[in-house]
Amino acid sequence: MRRDPYFLGLSVVLPITMFFLFSHAVTLDVRDMPLAVYDRSRSQTARRYIDRFVSSGYFRLVAHVDDVGALNRMLGTGQAKVAFVIPQDFSRNLHNNRPAEVQILVDGSFPTTAQVIVGYIDAINASASQAVLVRYLERQGQRSSQLAIEPAVRVWYDPALKSMNYIVPGLYGVILLAFAPLLTALGVVRERESGSIHQIFVSPVRPYQFILGKTIPYCALMFAVTLVLLAVGIYGFRVPMRGNLLLFVALLAVYTVCTVGVGLLFSTLTRSQLGAILLALLGAMMPAFYFSGFLYPVEQLPAFVRYNCYLFPAYYFNRISRDIVLKGMGLQQIWPDVLIIMAYTSLLLVGASLRLKKKV
């Protein structure tokens, strides 16, 4: 062990790194949820009501909008996870000792998070209602068990809060990034260990041609597997496809090339199959599960972990997948993430070609 500093370093650094990252990345806390408000009342009472949610620490006010369309767009793009619509007669009803309704829209893309949010809303609303009752009823010697403010909570995108509807769209990106790099890296490194790759080195085949020759079959294999998973998700698990299926399949093909490119780059960084497995574990499999937004909303992670999530393609494809499958969005809404995936793919293939050239 002492003669192999690489192995010794991994045996010490890897467990510490996993413990440090998992302890911060695996979290069920829900805080600072972005909140948008369409306040038609424009009264001091309505502002105090919203302040109760913001001061709780669970919600963060990001925008006041002037129409329902802007509210819908913010929910669709993820700029807001919760939206309040306060009617014009909100303050008047409370002053007249009548119940006031508030419409509350919750993004149900993450059912677990949505359930926690709904629980927070009920608790904070009950507290606000009690304060209103004390102010407007008890001063007249009256008491009431009825809520002064009645929230009409609606969950969008997954009204039934079925976990399968958000797990399956996330699995497409996670499985590809978890297994495609591993299989590709092992296939190339195995040739290096057996010595058969030297036939390529002494041939007139250029590095980019070798990379292209390795990309095509692995992409075809992984794309075929993913199409089977897609069919099982739609027809077996009955996950609705609200967006354009052909668009999703096309972007799935681009992402497949990206994940194979990750494996090709890994194969140029190591000379052993053990090294390829460790690289795939640390650089692809772990980030695919914990830093892609598959299990937990990225917005809820600590800042230094959240910024690391932006380095992995699975984060962007999970956003694309759930936006198309659950929200029915088109290319005009998701094009920034698509461009990032395409740029990521190009950089990986170019980087793998350059690294292979250095090895030659």
- Neighbour-count burial of 234, counting CB atoms closer than 10 A to its CB (0-12 exposed, 13-18 middle, 19+ buried): middle
Rg (CA), the chain: 26
The predicted-structure confidence for 195-227, as pLDDT tens digits, reads as follows: 777 777 777 777 778 888 888 888 999 999 889
Ranking 69-83, 182-196, 338-352 by mean pLDDT, the lowest is 182-196
Domain boundaries along the sequence of the chain: 33-156, 163-359
pLDDT bin (cut points 50, 70, 90) of residue 5 is low
The single-letter DSSP state of residue 140 is G
Ranking 25-29, 287-291, 309-313 by mean pLDDT, the lowest is 25-29
* pLDDT for res 11: 63
Is it true that domain 33-156 has CATH number 3.40.1710.10? yes
Give which of 166, 158, 160, 154 is closest to 83, Cα–Cα: 154
- Whether 256 contacts 226, CB under 8 Å: yes
In the block, residue with structure tokens 């058969």 = 196
pLDDT bin (cut points 50, 70, 90) of residue 105 is very high
Name which residue leads in pLDDT, 322 or 110.
Answer: 322
* pLDDT for res 187: 81
Backbone φ and ψ of 48, nearest 5°: -65, -35
- Whether 222 contacts 264, CB under 8 Å: no
Overall residue count recorded for the chain in this entry: 360
For residue 360, pLDDT beyond 50? no
Reading the block at residue 55, the tokens are 């001061």
Q: Tell me the β-bridge partners of 85.
A: 38, 103
* pLDDT for res 145: 44
With a CB cutoff of 8 Å and minimum separation 6, the contacts of 60 are 32, 33, 34, 35, 54
Q: Number of helices (H) and strands (E), helices first, in the chain?
A: 14, 5
The predicted-structure confidence for 36-50, as pLDDT tens digits, reads as follows: 999 988 888 888 889
The predicted-structure confidence for 116-136, as pLDDT tens digits, reads as follows: 888 888 888 888 877 765 555
With a CB cutoff of 8 Å and minimum separation 6, the contacts of 332 are none
The single-letter DSSP state of residue 109 is S
Backbone φ and ψ of 60, nearest 5°: -130, 115
Q: Give the 3-state secondary structure percentages of the chain, helix then strand then coil, rounded to 5.
A: 65, 10, 25
For residue 263, pLDDT beyond 80? yes
In the block, residue with structure tokens 């591993």 = 182
Direct distance between the N- and C-terminal alpha carbons of the chain, in angstroms, rounded to an integer: 30
pLDDT bin (cut points 50, 70, 90) of residue 170 is confident
For residue 101, pLDDT beyond 80? yes
How confident is the prediction for the chain on average, in pLDDT? Answer: 82
